[in-house]
Amino acid sequence: MRLGAAADPERFGRAQPPASTDVTAAAFARAFFSHPSRVAVGVEVMAAIAVASVLPLRHWPSSSLAALVAALVVALGAAGVRALVGARLPDWSILVDVGLGNLFASVVAAAAASAHVELANLYLLVEVFALLYLPLRWALGQLAFAGAAYAVVLAVGPRTAEPPVVAWLSVFGTGVVVGAVVVGLVSVLRSTARTDPLTGLANRRMWDERLEEEMERSVRSGTALSVVMVDLDGFKAVNDAGGHAAGDRVLKQLAQAWQEVVRGGTDFLARLGGDEFGLLAPGSDEIGTRALAKRLVDAIPEGVSASVGVATWNRTEGASDLLRRADQLMYRNKRRRRDAGHGRS
C-alpha cells in the first residue's frame, strides 16, 4: 500500500519505469512482512542502530555507557539468532521477543536518561511489532507491561528533562494513538485479503484456511463434513449480452440470495474465482448437503443455471483430494446436463 502520490518522472527527465517495478516491490514487501522472524530481525537491527547513533554524542557515565553497549550487543545478537534460526522457532517465541524488547527499551531508556537523551520511543517500535504479529489480547498485554515498566524507570531511574508524568504520557499517549491506527489498518487489510470485493463473500485464500480448520474440527468432534462446488453455466453469455456490469450484478444477486439460504453460523460460502463458488457444510452428511445444494440452485436468478458437485469427507483424503472429488462430480454433472440439453438441475 502506497500513501500519497508518486512524483511525475517526466518532470525529472526520466522515463517511466516499467510496471513490473511496482510488482517486484510489492512481492518483496509481501515476502518480507509475511514472516514475523524477518521483521523481528529488522526491528532488532533498528534498535541497535538507535543505540549506536547516540553513543558518540555524549560523555556518558561509565555505568550508563556499559548498559548501552551491553544492550547494543544483545540487540545484534538477537538479530543474528533470528536471522539464522528464526524460521525454525515456534510461533510463541515472538511473544518472548516482544517481552525482551520491552525490557531492552526499559534498560536503554534508563541509561540514556542519565545524559538527558530520549530513547524511550523504542517502546513504540516494539509495540507496533506486537500489534502486527501477536493476537490482540497479547499485544495489549505487552503494551500494559511496557507502560508499567517505563513508569518504574521514571520513578526509580535518573531524572528526565521533563516531569515524569509528562514523559510517560508523551510516549504512551503516542503509543495508544499509533496502536489504534495499526489495529484499524491491520483489521482492514486482513478483511480485504480474505474477502471477495465484488460479492462480499470469502475468497479462495480464506476458503483454504477455513477448510483446514473444519477438517481439524471434524476430526476432534467426529461429525461429518461436506463440500459443495458450484459452477455457473452459460455465464459467458450473460457477459456477452449485457457486458461485465450485467455479469457483476448477477454475481452480487447470487451472493445475496445464497447467504439467505445457507445455515448461519455453520455453513461457509466463498467465491473461489470467476463464476465458481464453494460451500462448506460442517456437520452435514451427503444427503443433507444435497438438499442444501438444491436450495442453492433454486435461488439462482432466471437466465442462469449452475452445475454442482457434492462430496463428503472420508477422513482419509487430504483437502485437495476432497475438493478434486467434488470438482469431478460437478463437471460430470455439467457434461451430463449439457448433453441432455437441460437448463437448471
* One domain for residues 254 and 160: no
* One domain for residues 74 and 155: yes
Digit-coded pLDDT (tens) for 61-70: 999 999 999 9
Examine residue 35 and state whether it is found in any structural domain, yes or no: yes
Confidence tier at 263 by pLDDT (50, 70, 90): confident
* One domain for residues 138 and 218: no
Note the pLDDT of residue 240: 66
Examine residue 10 and state whether it is found in any structural domain, yes or no: no
User: In sequence order, which ranges of the chain are alpha helices (DSSP H)?
Assistant: 20-33, 36-54, 62-85, 93-113, 122-133, 136-156, 164-194, 204-221, 235-261, 286-298, 319-340
User: Could you say which DSSP state residue 197 is in?
Assistant: T
Domain end point (choices 167, 194, 221): 194
Count up the domains in the chain and report the number.
2
* One domain for residues 115 and 246: no
* One domain for residues 34 and 175: yes
* One domain for residues 133 and 211: no
* One domain for residues 120 and 223: no
Examine residue 13 and state whether it is found in any structural domain, yes or no: no
* One domain for residues 209 and 320: yes
Domain end point (choices 135, 159, 194): 194
Examine residue 2 and state whether it is found in any structural domain, yes or no: no
Digit-coded pLDDT (tens) for 322-341: 999 999 999 998 888 777 76
**20 compared with 9, residue with greater pLDDT:** 20
Note the pLDDT of residue 22: 52
Digit-coded pLDDT (tens) for 152-192: 999 988 887 788 899 899 899 888 898 888 888 887 777 77
Classified as helix, coil or strand, 328 is helix
* One domain for residues 188 and 317: no
* One domain for residues 142 and 219: no
* One domain for residues 212 and 117: no
Domain end point (choices 194, 217, 236): 194
Region 300-310 average pLDDT = 84
* One domain for residues 110 and 228: no
How far apart are alpha carbons 6 and 333 in whole angstroms? 51
CATH number at residue 333: 3.30.70.270
Examine residue 158 and state whether it is found in any structural domain, yes or no: yes
Examine residue 212 and state whether it is found in any structural domain, yes or no: yes
How far apart are alpha carbons 285 and 224 in whole angstroms? 6
Read off φ and ψ for residue 231, nearest 5 degrees: -130, 125
Domain containing residue 158: 19-194
Q: Cα Rg for the chain, rounded, in angstroms? A: 28
